[in-house]
Amino acid sequence: MMGTPQQERWIRSIPVSSQPPSLKDNTADVDRLVKEIEKALGGEEVRIDLSLSRKIPSLLREHGYHVRADLYKGLLSWHLVDVFPPTEAGSVYGLAVDLGTSMIEVRLLDLVTGEVQEETSFLNPQIHVGPDILTRIHFAGREGGLQKLQSLLVGRLNQEIQSLAERQGISTKNMVGASVAGNTTMTHLFLGLDPYWICREPYIPVLNRPGLIRPGDVGLGIHERGVVFVFPNAGSYFGGDLMAGILASGMNHLEEVSILVDVGTNAEVVLGNRDWLVACAGAAGPALEGGVASMGMMAGPGVIDKVVIEPATGEFQVGTIDGLSPVGICGSGMIDLVAQLYLARMIDIRGKYVPEKCGERIQTIDAMQHLIVVFSKDSGTGEALTLSQAEIDALMRSKAAMHTILTTMIRMIHLEWKDFRKFYVAGTFGSYINPRSAIVLGMLPDLPLEVYEALGNTSLAGATTALLSLRKRNEVDEIRNRVTYVEMNVNQEFMNQFSAAKFIPHTHRSLFPTVP
Amino acid sequence: MMGTPQQERWIRSIPVSSQPPSLKDNTADVDRLVKEIEKALGGEEVRIDLSLSRKIPSLLREHGYHVRADLYKGLLSWHLVDVFPPTEAGSVYGLAVDLGTSMIEVRLLDLVTGEVQEETSFLNPQIHVGPDILTRIHFAGREGGLQKLQSLLVGRLNQEIQSLAERQGISTKNMVGASVAGNTTMTHLFLGLDPYWICREPYIPVLNRPGLIRPGDVGLGIHERGVVFVFPNAGSYFGGDLMAGILASGMNHLEEVSILVDVGTNAEVVLGNRDWLVACAGAAGPALEGGVASMGMMAGPGVIDKVVIEPATGEFQVGTIDGLSPVGICGSGMIDLVAQLYLARMIDIRGKYVPEKCGERIQTIDAMQHLIVVFSKDSGTGEALTLSQAEIDALMRSKAAMHTILTTMIRMIHLEWKDFRKFYVAGTFGSYINPRSAIVLGMLPDLPLEVYEALGNTSLAGATTALLSLRKRNEVDEIRNRVTYVEMNVNQEFMNQFSAAKFIPHTHRSLFPTVP
């Protein structure tokens, strides 16, 4: 990905020299400069803003008609961003940004070498308004709410941009471009577009293809004449982050059909190959209340991310992040735990505790059964870590939702699981899921383990790729135009499947031959 | 010119309707609107600004997905300027502007009908800084000088735009585009570009092709998302006003060679036909000190614009503008007067008074001979109107300069006067010149009178044409690219010719066979 060839760069910094004007060649200063740059770019057209034109004559004359020019390629022509003395270091930077609902991840890239200079992430400051998308959409509807959400986000981003520049000893004027991917609502909030209709039938975004915008359009603190590439959406529930994911996975170049699933609040799914792409995401409403990823806390030190239960003895082995004493459990740990509970038959196929199998670990608190995962003596908090029946029930709904979405999806396009060569799991949460545990639970289909591949933050990876390569940036539009977006139809058939999927691994055991 | 067909308009206002979104068609609001507009425009691409996108959803929903869209065609795609309720009157306006050094002329055009709604002109407020281009260029070099000149001009223009809107009962938001032509310096001052190098060897403009700019780039008070087309220059002494002149004359479409002369401070000249165009203007420096048009006052009520002298009796008949009592003499009147003085042999071939022929009309004031053109009893000022020898001398230099420029020009391209089918005289001053008088003086070549055609303000006419028609707007670039600009070389040969032209009609009388 970092190996994107230099000649594919759409943000560049090049040295330019021209002959000084004379009576024999009285081409205007700006035209003279533009002509030389066009020559250097192999004859491609170059445009220049009036505000920059104003300072060209003195700059050219001051430096004897030898300067360095920063420029970016727009939709059709190149745009001159700035002109510097030739003595200034010839480097130009860009930002790849993943606008996550919870976390914002920013990469500063040296666009000459293509290398990551620094990577940083921070909590999305909109969390203070509301942790989830829906709360923010409602907040945006209030007087000044949208502006507040937008400025919270961009203000925080600008702080980070400023700090990055200071730490790297560069100017924010050297940051000429940004490539931004986020889900549809986050993209709307970044652009200052009202997301009101995103969560209301028939779930309509304001726009799907922001394309290239000026930093000033959103107040982003990079070079004022720079450019921001914003990934397009395919629909209200299928955003630019997924487009970036497709780009990062490369599934749109494969001959074989593969599937990409981003496990977030919804399961966002893309199927396809080099000839076609179908995307689906569940605006599945109340049926999937709580979403696919409602389980557990966020990953962090001491959080349980791995559980093994010895079926014969019922002994628990828990692994934690950084090997610290356990303090809680994250989503991927919970999937491990519940799969292991099932394999040890401590829960039944409905996900209900089997007290006689759980022994001393089962307890009733507030009239509900809880399983002690970590006894107080082994806990990092001094108190026992427990898992309630209600939490398992929630997980069962989530995993059933995931399975139903996946199954509905492949049925819609008349494929079977054996047709898939690759099953890409995207998202930070997705990277931690043990596919075998997810299969045991019936959350993911019963495919050979080598078919599964965790890709990490594909949104950031895709944003990076598009920032470094014009071919890849253009590919995003191709992907956008090629994706057929289907809204998941929550009808009786869907609900029947959902009910059938609320067992471990499934009502139809034959779908999961490898699960005992 | 006004008859430019509607389908050639590049600024339009069209009604757009779309189906409201549904679960079956959940295209984003902006995409939905854009798609319908693209359909209405025969499949051409339409782009939309983020600032406008923000208000689309509520507007569409408020008006049941029936709206009116104002848009303009950029270099490649159409740009949506604004969206209005369908009830608002479907008209859209534009401004054609001639940025003259002395006068600014503005036409408000209804871009639906193509008709002139109103035309207005006012003194260029930069006159308070300096009456001529050179003074203003020097003033622009002072601290804040350029900004002052720019804001004087645009401020005054904006006042006029506001008044026009009020008088016509429209909003400045209904003015979506402007088309602006001026000489190179005026264009620079309008754009806020430093004209410093325009008057300094090797006479380099900052830029020659401003193209399409945003109104905000210069602070012009039309619709903020509208567009301003600025005519390109061919060089420091060959500006957008001449490009507009070529466009207005249509000489670039003729099979035969014709010539267009704009008589201003310099004589700006274009020669050519549909295959080639050569432009020349004299940055001729000290040789032409005072310029071609240094003679007389500006036209106005009571100003003498026509003189006939009865050779036999020496009787003067003077015509004035509006037939009022004479108060002064304008340039065209002076050309008539001096030509008549020569034909009556009251001046000799050197342009010197022949006292014995002038009789009582000759007087010596401050040791210089003056001719009484109007006796005090007939004058509108109560005092005699006189013409000094020095004034005739200045006219002689001017007419010699004009002739030399024209002659040098046609020699450079190896043509003769008989090759010209049309001799277009552009400019307000040019429209009043009596070609026969100019021929008698040897200012214009001795061609049949029907070859001469006065075109009036071709700068304003060209700006209007380009505003009304995309084909014509594009033609301006073709003209710009086709014009070969030659700097007049003021060498010994030029000076010899200049000296030879300082006689009436010329040292080589054979060049003017019809002049007695």
Tens-place pLDDT, residues A120-151: 999 999 999 998 889 999 999 999 999 999 99
Average pLDDT over residues B464-483: 96
Average pLDDT over residues A279-292: 54
Question: To 5 degrees, how large is the angle CA A154–CA A166–CA A214?
Answer: 35
Average pLDDT over residues A169-176: 96
* pLDDT per residue as tens digits for the range B99-132: 999 899 999 999 999 999 999 999 999 999 998 8
The chain-wide mean pLDDT, for chain B, equals 91
* pLDDT per residue as tens digits for the range B415-430: 999 999 999 998 777 7
Residue B414 has pLDDT above 60, yes or no: yes
Band of pLDDT at residue A286, cut at 50, 70 and 90:
very low
Signed CA dihedral, A472, A477, A479, A480: sign only: positive
The candidate with the shortest Cα–Cα distance to A491, out of A366, A416, A419, A404, is A404
Q: Give how far B201 is from chain A: nearest CA, Å.
A: 7
Residue A1 has pLDDT above 50, yes or no: no
Band of pLDDT at residue A264, cut at 50, 70 and 90:
low
Residue A25's pLDDT is what? 87
Q: Which of B28, B213, B487 sits opposite A204 (nearest CB)?
A: B28
Residue B30 has pLDDT above 70, yes or no: yes
Amino acid symbol at A119 = E
Q: Do A50 and B210 touch (CB under 8 A)?
A: yes
Residue with tokens 């071919």, as numbered in its chain: A471
Residue with tokens 């014509």, as numbered in its chain: B472
Cα nearest neighbour of A205 on chain B: B28
Cα nearest neighbour of A203 on chain B: B26
The chain-wide mean pLDDT, for chain A, equals 91
Residue B284's pLDDT is what? 42
Residue B397's pLDDT is what? 87
Residues of B engaging A, defined by a Cβ cutoff of 8 Å = 21-23, 25-31, 48-51, 53-54, 56-58, 76, 191-194, 196-197, 201-210, 213, 217-218, 233, 235-236, 487
Name the least confident of A458-462, A486-490, A512-516, B304-308. A486-490
Average pLDDT over residues A457-466: 96
Residues of A in contact with B46 (CB under 8 A): none
Contact of B444 with B410, CB cutoff 8 Å = no
Tell me which of A76, A204, A227, A484 to substitute to probe the interface with B (most B C-beta atoms closer than 10 Å): A204
- Whether ipTM > 0.90 holds is no
Residue B295 has pLDDT above 50, yes or no: no
Q: Give how far A488 is from chain B: nearest CA, Å.
A: 10
Contact of B405 with B468, CB cutoff 8 Å = no
Residue A5's pLDDT is what? 80
Q: Which of B28, B56, B197 sits opposite A208 (nearest CB)?
A: B28
As a three-state string, the secondary structure of A186-227 is HHHHHHCCCCHHHHCCCCCCCCCCCEEECHHHHCCCCCCCCE
Residue with tokens 């000076």, as numbered in its chain: B495
Residue A294 has pLDDT above 50, yes or no: no
DSSP B234: S
Q: Do A23 and B202 touch (CB under 8 A)?
A: yes
Residue A298's pLDDT is what? 66
The candidate with the shortest Cα–Cα distance to A285, out of A348, A202, A341, A367, is A202
Q: Which of A468-487 are b and which e, b meaning 16 or more Cβ less than 10 Å from the residue's Cβ?
A: bbbebbebbeebbebbebbb
Cα nearest neighbour of A35 on chain B: B207
Cα nearest neighbour of B198 on chain A: A28
CA distance B435 to B226: 42
CA A433 remoteness from chain centre: 16
Q: Do B194 and A57 touch (CB under 8 A)?
A: yes
Residue A289 has pLDDT above 60, yes or no: no
Residue B297's pLDDT is what? 55
Residues of A in contact with B48 (CB under 8 A): 207
Count other C-beta atoms under 10 Å from residue A248's C-beta.
26
Q: Do A194 and B29 touch (CB under 8 A)?
A: no
DSSP string, A38-97: HHHTTT--EEE-HHHHTTHHHHHHHTTTEEEEEEEE-SSSEEEEEEE-TTS----EEEEE
Residue A185's pLDDT is what? 95
Contact of B158 with B219, CB cutoff 8 Å = yes
Residue B266's pLDDT is what? 67
Residue A290's pLDDT is what? 47
Residue B289's pLDDT is what? 46
Average pLDDT over residues A60-85: 95
Half-sphere exposure of B498 (CA within 13 A, CB side): 20
Contact of B228 with B214, CB cutoff 8 Å = yes
Identify the burial level of A253 via C-beta atoms within 10 angstroms of its C-beta, where 0-12 means exposed, 13-18 middle and 19 or more buried: exposed
Identify the burial level of B43 via C-beta atoms within 10 angstroms of its C-beta, where 0-12 means exposed, 13-18 middle and 19 or more buried: exposed
Q: Which of B50, B194, B203 sits opposite A26 (nearest CB)?
A: B203
Contact of A311 with A344, CB cutoff 8 Å = yes
Structure tokens at B85: 């309720």
CA distance B147 to B347: 49
Quote the pTM value. Answer: 0.87
Residue B2's pLDDT is what? 47
CA distance B177 to B172: 10
CA A32 remoteness from chain centre: 43
**Taking CB atoms and an 8 Å cut-off, how many pairs form between chains A and B?**
122
Q: Which residue has the higher pLDDT, B426 or B439?
A: B439
Q: Which of A144-171 are b and which e, b meaning 16 or more Cβ less than 10 Å from the residue's Cβ?
A: ebbeebbbbbbebbbebbeebbeebebe
The candidate with the shortest Cα–Cα distance to A296, out of A363, A426, A391, is A391
Residue B416's pLDDT is what? 92
**Residues whose CB is less than 8 angstroms from the CB of residue B492 and which lie 6 or more positions away in sequence, other chains included:** none
* pLDDT per residue as tens digits for the range B345-400: 999 999 999 999 999 999 998 899 999 999 999 999 999 999 999 889 988 988 88
Q: Which of A53, A202, A208 sits opposite B23 (nearest CB)?
A: A202
Average pLDDT over residues A162-191: 97
Band of pLDDT at residue B294, cut at 50, 70 and 90:
very low
Contact of A409 with A489, CB cutoff 8 Å = no
Contact of A249 with A255, CB cutoff 8 Å = no
Q: Which residue has the higher pLDDT, B23 or A224?
A: A224
Residue B264's pLDDT is what? 65
Q: Give how far B486 is from chain A: nearest CA, Å.
A: 9
Residue B298's pLDDT is what? 66
**Residues whose CB is less than 8 angstroms from the CB of residue A307 and which lie 6 or more positions away in sequence, other chains included:** A316, A317, A318, A319, A333, A336, A337, A340, A373
- Highest average pLDDT, of A217-226, A408-417, A426-435, comes from A217-226
Average pLDDT over residues B159-165: 98
Residues of B in contact with A30 (CB under 8 A): 206-208
Residue A297's pLDDT is what? 54
Cα nearest neighbour of B26 on chain A: A204
Cα nearest neighbour of B52 on chain A: A193
**Residues whose CB is less than 8 angstroms from the CB of residue A270 and which lie 6 or more positions away in sequence, other chains included:** A242, A245, A246, A251, A259, A260, A261, A277, A278, A279, A280, A483
Strand boundaries in B333-432, DSSP class E: 362-365, 368-374, 385-388, 422-426
Structure tokens at B349: 């071939």
